[in-house]
Structure 1
């Protein structure tokens, strides 16, 4: 278990949340992050901004990889690490002056917390513990403070209420949303590994099951989740729970800063992440 007892971990208040992300619930939380990434396309204003950047169309795998790398770097290293400082500066830079509301920012930030939280409750090997939940809320609240997204709801219950009301008020179909999904389907296919690789040709149907909410599917222009895809997710979840009871949680880090990942098959430097400054 020496990989789980790292002496170079940050000395902050997020150790239980970090352990869940890196070890105990790593695959489930990552699946939630993927679902949250696509869910953010479902509001017309956000979809329009994403389309205007051009990154989703020109290099969707890099755009998706960068989104994940930023969050994982911050979780793995803590907010005060030099690498994290670069990630925070990147977030402030790329979001500065965008034509979106404060609630738009809050929704996208909270999606990275709430969607994995709900995914683990529904399909994970177990739900989050009370400690993991409290630390997850505190982590994303601090992240918001550091990049200028303030006045987040104070509890998970209040955050979920805001999240659900925002979707009720703003989610609806748009041509931009559908275009973003089509441009990013290969990113979703890339996430299907192991036995699921054989089902990559069914990516739209599997994405629907991952998103699950019929309103979001309609807004994204993908078919609603079918019974067989929902059954597949539940069956897969049951199998992973059974395996976990035998093997226990993973013993190696899920994410290692700088290691090969996604669009960076040979590894990356913090300066590689995000759009080129000259394009902003």
Structure 2
């Protein structure tokens, strides 16, 4: 396969109608590692909004059961990408997400903000560190993919364009980022989990590396000390160098699935989608409600490899 196979394939597709296929090609073939890291960062930065981070702390799942919550969220978010929104597995996954969120009275604006991070952060990551940036077709496909996810979750006031998502994310963070003790506990727990993905000698450097890639407003919201400037420059330069090297690699033929990643640890013998996640409303496992039920909480969990951890899981 040519190195530019997936770009050429996506350029031939229509992002208005083929957005799932385009997005799948981006996530599972062209940029699996980068998208994993970028989506992880996207979710991690939502913890800096006190209304989101504090709720996640109060559930106790992100401090007492973080590995399972991490795994469940990654596994639940994948089916629409892999199979499309109308596939039975995708509808089961979305029902499960909605059922969890109905237990919490969270404003719609927090849902819309979280959705915006899924669109904006990956584009910015690939602009900075990818072997190439996303094409206009791929950006538009991402917009349409998350607008569709938003409809399935009954999220209101979802932007129609990438520029709209970008304005939403930047303005929301400027207004809402602030320190919260509970949110800090969630952030600390997530970083601690990420460090366990590495051999012991690498765990401390991995945590420093993650903080080096955080922007100043995000670090300040958690009251994390900034790593030395030289560490920040070296960390970013290393990722840019990786992107340059990957330009010489052939296209990935086989898709990279979440369950193929070594840090998904909770289900060595397999799992049932309808039984993933929590049941905070007391409903029985399997009694999941409707796929298009109204949301009641912010998207929670970490999809992917933890905030910018160098995973060694391939490109």
Which band: TM-score by shorter chain?
0.7 to 0.9
Tell me the secondary structure at the aligned position of residue 66 of structure 1.
helix
Q: Which residue of 1 aligns with 2:271?
A: 268
Determine the structure 2 residue equivalent to 1:19: 25
TM-score after normalising by structure 2: 0.77
Match of 1:70 in 2: 76
Greater CA drift, 164-173 or 177-186: 177-186
1:82 to 75, 84, 88: 88
Structure (1 or 2) with the greater helix fraction: 1
Matched-pair contact (CA < 8 Å) for 1:56–1:184 = yes
SS in structure 2 of the partner of residue 98 of structure 1 = coil
CA deviations 1:128-185 (Å, max 9, x no partner) are 1111100100000010001111221110011100110000110001111111122222
2:147 corresponds, among 141, 144, 155, to: 141
Query: How far did residue 246 of structure 1 move?
Result: 2.2
Query: Distance in 1 between the 2:189 and 2:19 partners?
Result: 38
Q: For 1:69 and 1:209, locate their aligned partners in 2 and report how far apart those are by CA, in whole Å.
A: 28
Alignment of 1:130 onto 2:136 = yes
**1:166 aligned to 2:172?**
yes
- CA-based RMSD: 2.5
Cα deviations across residues 172-228 of structure 1 (Å, max 9, x unaligned)?
0111111112222232224558xxx85321344222223x22111111232224323
Partner residue in 2 for 1:182: 188
Stretches of structure 2 lacking an aligned partner (at least 5 in a row): 10-16, 284-315
| Contact 1:205-1:226 at 8 Å conserved across structures | no
| Structure 1 CA distance for aligned equivalents of residues 92 and 123 of structure 2 | 27
Shift of 1:277: 6.0
Structure 1 residues 261 and 192, CA gap change in structure 2 (3 angstroms):
closer
| In structure 2, distance between residues paired with 1:95 and 1:215 | 27
User: Which whole-Å CA distance do the structure 1 matches of 2:240 and 2:216 have between them?
Assistant: 24
CA distance in 2 between partners of 1:24 and 1:198 (Å): 31
Please say if 1:237 is aligned against 2:243: no
Counterpart in the other structure of 1:42: 48
CA contact (8 A) 2:28 2:257 kept: yes
Q: TM-score, normalised by structure 1?
A: 0.86
Aligned residue-pair number = 269
Are residues 1:206 and 2:209 paired?
Answer: yes
CA contact (8 A) 1:114 1:160 kept: yes
Greater length-normalized contact order (CA 8 Å, ≥ 6 residues apart):
2
Give the match for residue 118 of structure 2.
112
Distance 1:62 1:226, change over 3 A: farther
How far the C-alpha of 1:258 sits from its partner, in A, is 8.6
Question: Match for residue 8 of structure 1?
Answer: none
Larger CA deviation: 178-187 vs 269-278: 269-278
C-alpha separation between the residues in 2 aligned to 1:191 and 1:30?
A: 14
* 1:109–1:225 distance in 2 versus 1, CA, 3 Å: farther
Q: Name the CA shift for 1:70/1:47 in 2 (closer, same or farther; >3 Å).
A: same
Distance 1:53 1:209, change over 3 A: same
